[in-house]
Structure 1
């Protein structure tokens, strides 16, 4: 299966201005190269069959005929494969000359799209030669074919409903209302831009921003093919700046002044999932004409990079900015809640683990925003059966370094008495044994908050909520959950970010917490070491966060998520391991929804949350049958 991926290419062939035969040969070479790479669609630069810089030669009958002959040659070349090629040429229609894009496949001209916006300022003088392209579509006769001509053209695969593209040309993108807006609203998931954008200082950065932002606004893929070396240098130079962007992300880009070809896998399923979830992305039933094409399935290896940690930026500088932004949002949310409730204290259960450490660091920021002393925070350590000396010591030292009020309340006697009241054998370390500790801790925090006129700050993270890895009415509950939309893989980096910027002793404590295995510490320690490691029980958080992102953000199927995970984690996990934990993820996602249906408030800081009041509204008793059926087939 292709899972919605389609390989697409943009290229800048070498050109000789005015030599249409040469340009056709170079274009044919790029077509062959793209076809061998498995591309379903190839986009080439504006007026590539003549060269963009022909000047008044465009008005010469000889050049116009040369371009037509070159187009005919490329039609013949296109008959050798299913690949679609979009090329640029001047074309006379009804006594007017138009700057056109021709869409070719299997020896046919599927359509001709004329440029609408003609730059006639600074170094550009296109209105001297060309007429603005009409929007309405009509049929014309060209090279023995009846061809649709006009701006409102869509090209759609008859086999892949998601594969629909449209065309705009260079300046069309740079105007206030680009045609690609209407194209996308009419159903185009891909915009092809044939361009001849010359280079000036700073223009490449702006061009990149323009392409990526347009792909983001329209939730589309944007294929930008730029004229390059070989164009006339009389007044301009051309850099061949080719760009492939998808929904705001630049997937591939060529260096300036190096004519070449880019190939990228476009995830059409992801684009349509994004559009589907956006109620402000209205369908437009306009006057567009759709031209259908057929392509045989192309099976090629995925050449697209799949991020292993979709919640965590790879670039360190970007990651640092992201961490600062998230910590600020968490703290601002808590600040508002403390103000609105009028609470005098913030109460945090501190275990010596990552989640409670992050919650405490956020609480310190919130108190500082309120210009109140750190002593207004009451951090409570509640050791019991599974608490190790390491986590107990780290909890106390962390609170001392942060200057918050600290209390250690051993709950062993209280839990032992509770188990005795239940008639539960204390030597049986089952779910009752574990949850009794978690609920005793929450009860203690709630009562302490009443005693100190305080607010209990929740510590649980997004990954735990997805898996239901929390005790109902235990650590599942708080008065404000600051980590509720922060996944486990990101919690680590947030604490690490603070550690890197802390004084020596605080940094040392945070680094030891960062290196401590993730554990609820509800089972007795073995030889003083943590006996209960969360990832041994529910699976690696790296995988679960990967699953979470693709399930909630895009609604991908289990089969596609498995495919993506195998690509992203090829060197770490075998297929059987990925499927095993994917089963666990789905099973827990469905079975544990009842815990998410009654979550406390908490700030949304990323694109994904599981708040029952916001992004995720799921019946607690929904059936997993369809998803299980697909999982069983993996």
Structure 2
């Protein structure tokens, strides 16, 4: 469903060398995974026999029991579409290998041996097992059938689902086998492990899994042996986790004296698209692999995954604070470089009493603090026009006075009326001409004043407005440096709220600005109340930011974006409302590219940016019809 693949990772109850007991608990978990429509379930290293058998691995009786256990697993899976990866010792050409076996519908489809066999304090696997690192293009006879055997196996399903397998120590090496598996197309990486518990190791293990999933742009499932293993010298806690591109989707609980299984839905389509857009990934070495075709895997019927309605905004306050601090630092560093390069001592800003101009001023003020410059050289211009309300005007004045910057008031109504006369427009007609004349008049004032003072105009427009083209061409669309251009509207709110804590002397006015409806204030108010509310005209910014994130970040098609938005906003917006605003977003995003094609310089602050010089290169006359068609045809 829309490129999602459900993966299960399990830790069964285990008894050392008690194969029948182990297999029974594995079958129970396998059935649970099948009921949940998981494509695959991952078990720990040597899960059939138990990892800590020691010299019992030399015993024929154990290997006979393992054979019986595999037969039982195959019989139990004859009508099961969910594949399973189990760990077992495998004899081959007089050598014993620590292996992962992929089982599906009563068949062993492939066997992958461990590459890096440890030989250190806790483990001395080389006493029993040999490395399978050099085993390629081979088969092994199991259950009377020839089965593909080697480290050169990838297991393939539909819609880009491709599994790679490595075992425990393989992940801890300088270049894990999974790195090459990912470069060869594996989107989901599986690790059967036996990792003991010592103080601090759990955190490091999780960081390894998360980092490898990010480096490989892949899903990564990890399952380690549990408490049933021998505790003669070490303890196994049964760590189990599933990550995707650096994010931990699910993690189980350690030290459980019972079986457990966790599930996560991995977005394979998103991973594939990210790999396409990352040139460094495509430059990696592609090694030859044999591709083993899986039987049809189960498809999920309902997404079991948290979809963040505000993907640009960290959910935890501590993380938001860290993010705000970093963005503010990026903005200040960017503006400082520009001012030093051109030798400008003055910054000119248009201040409206709205969110965007407030953030631009705060970032400029912080830049002057860092450069130890006089804030009086920040020249703020409030330019009341036909739609300006007393509330926004007063907030603009209070903000500037609180920061100690220079404030100038230039009323634009007379100049706009004169311009209406010049072009023959009736000011009673509140058309786009009426609105844009005001925006361009303000920009003209700012540009000319900057020239007069030997300064630059600092722009206020944000990433969301750029995506929608919600600006007047050569009006508020233009500046000499666009300091907010990389920040979406949903995040700007949190940035302004955070600065209220940094600068408590202006916190009251900042909170009132946050409570003011977003508006360009280009139409006359009624009883001094804003009548032109942006989100009523163009749609909720939280939806548009959501659409933007998934369209640019993962190249998601409109039907998938709609599906994800329903999961994220189901209790707030119904399907038709989301679909309607998504159409608006798509049409505006395509039709307004011409404004982005000549947008001014400005700092990138996140992974998504729309600069035509770097992150987003799109023809200004590209057609949107195929995107609309796909949206209309979505279920």
With structure 2 as the length reference, what TM-score do the two structures score?
0.98
Partner residue of 1:473?
474
Q: Which moved more, 1:25-34 or 1:126-135?
A: 126-135
Partner residue of 2:55?
56
Give 2:181's match in structure 1, choosing from 174, 183, 202.
Answer: 183
Partner residue of 1:395?
396
Query: For residues 417 and 574 of structure 1, what CA distance do their matches in structure 2 show?
Result: 47
Partner residue of 1:354?
355
Q: Could you give the per-residue CA deviations for residues 37-87 of structure 1, whole angstroms, max 9, x where no partner exists?
A: 110100000001111111111111111111121011101111121111000
Give 1:166's match in structure 2, choosing from 164, 173, 182.
Answer: 164
Query: For residues 321 and 455 of structure 1, what CA distance do their matches in structure 2 show?
Result: 30
Partner residue of 2:552?
552
Partner residue of 2:316?
315
Q: Could you give the per-residue CA deviations for residues 132-185 of structure 1, whole angstroms, max 9, x where no partner exists?
A: 11341301211111101111100001xx14100111000000011111111111
Query: For residues 451 and 287 of structure 1, what CA distance do their matches in structure 2 show?
Result: 66
Partner residue of 2:10?
11
Partner residue of 2:75?
76
- Structure 1, unmatched stretches of 5+, are none
CA contact (8 A) 2:11 2:225 kept: yes
Query: For residues 300 and 185 of structure 2, what CA distance do their matches in structure 1 show?
Result: 25
Give 1:208's match in structure 2, choosing from 206, 209, 216.
Answer: 206
Change (3 A) 1:285 1:507: closer
Query: For residues 266 and 340 of structure 1, what CA distance do their matches in structure 2 show?
Result: 46
Query: For residues 508 and 453 of structure 1, what CA distance do their matches in structure 2 show?
Result: 33
Partner residue of 1:47?
46
Q: Does 1:253 align with 2:254?
A: no
Equivalences for 1:83-162 in 2 at 5 Å? 83-133=82-132, 134-157=134-157, 160-162=158-160
Q: Which moved more, 1:252-261 or 1:376-385?
A: 252-261
CA contact (8 A) 2:378 2:405 kept: yes
Q: Which moved more, 1:185-194 or 1:285-294?
A: 285-294
Q: Which moved more, 1:366-375 or 1:147-156?
A: 366-375
**Superposed displacement of residue 552, structure 1:** 1.1
Partner residue of 1:521?
521
Q: Secondary structure of the equivalent of 2:192?
A: strand
Give the paired residue count. 630
Query: For residues 233 and 632 of structure 1, what CA distance do their matches in structure 2 show?
Result: 59
**Superposed displacement of residue 501, structure 1:** 2.6
**Superposed displacement of residue 297, structure 1:** 4.8
Query: For residues 462 and 305 of structure 2, what CA distance do their matches in structure 1 show?
Result: 30
Q: Which moved more, 1:538-547 or 1:414-423?
A: 414-423
Q: Secondary structure of the equivalent of 2:279?
A: coil
Partner residue of 1:194?
192
Q: Secondary structure of the equivalent of 1:629?
A: helix
Q: Which moved more, 1:71-80 or 1:354-363?
A: 71-80
Cα RMSD after superposing both structures: 1.0
- Structure 2, unmatched stretches of 5+, are none
Q: Secondary structure of the equivalent of 1:207?
A: helix
**Superposed displacement of residue 442, structure 1:** 0.2
Equivalences for 1:275-354 in 2 at 5 Å? 275-282=275-282, 284-295=285-296, 297-354=298-355
CA contact (8 A) 2:38 2:298 kept: no
**Superposed displacement of residue 502, structure 1:** 2.2
Q: Secondary structure of the equivalent of 2:280?
A: coil
With structure 1 as the length reference, what TM-score do the two structures score?
0.98
Query: For residues 266 and 522 of structure 1, what CA distance do their matches in structure 2 show?
Result: 46
CA contact (8 A) 2:38 2:300 kept: no
**Superposed displacement of residue 399, structure 1:** 0.4
Q: Secondary structure of the equivalent of 2:163?
A: strand
Query: For residues 355 and 214 of structure 1, what CA distance do their matches in structure 2 show?
Result: 38
Q: Secondary structure of the equivalent of 1:437?
A: helix
Query: For residues 294 and 465 of structure 1, what CA distance do their matches in structure 2 show?
Result: 46
Query: For residues 210 and 531 of structure 2, what CA distance do their matches in structure 1 show?
Result: 49
CA contact (8 A) 2:104 2:295 kept: no
Q: Secondary structure of the equivalent of 1:281?
A: helix
Query: For residues 578 and 479 of structure 1, what CA distance do their matches in structure 2 show?
Result: 36
Q: Does 1:30 align with 2:25?
A: no
Query: For residues 230 and 391 of structure 2, what CA distance do their matches in structure 1 show?
Result: 71
Partner residue of 2:232?
234
Query: For residues 17 and 586 of structure 1, what CA distance do their matches in structure 2 show?
Result: 59
Partner residue of 2:456?
455
**Superposed displacement of residue 500, structure 1:** 2.2
